[in-house]
Chain A
Amino acid sequence: MMKVFRLAAQTALLWGIYWVCNRFVQATGLPIPGNVIGVAVLFSLLCFGVVKLEHVQEAADFLLKHLVFFFIPIAVGLMDWGPVFYDYGLVLLAAIVASSLIPFWAVGFITQRLHRKEKPCTP
Chain B
Amino acid sequence: MSELLNNLLFLPESASTFAERVDLLHHFVVVTTIVMSLGTGLAALFMFFRYRRRTPAQATEYVVPTLKTEFLFVSVPLVFFLAWFGIGFRDFTWVTTPPKDSMDVYVMGKQWMWKFSYPEGPNGVNVLHVPANRPVRLLITSRDVLHSFYVPAFRIKMDALPGRYTQIWFEATKPGTYQVLCTEYCGLSHSKMLAEVVVLPQEEYDNWIKEQRRGRLQDRQDALADTSLVPPVARMVEQGQVLAGTQGCLKCHSVDGSQHIGPTFLGMYDRVEKLDDGQQIRVDEAYITQSMMDPGAHLVSGYQNVMPTYQGKLQGPETAAIVEYIKSLRTPAVREGASEGPAYDPIQ
Q: Do A and B bind each other?
A: no
Chain A interface (Cβ within 8 Å of chain B)? Answer: none
B residues neighboring A (CB under 8 Å): none
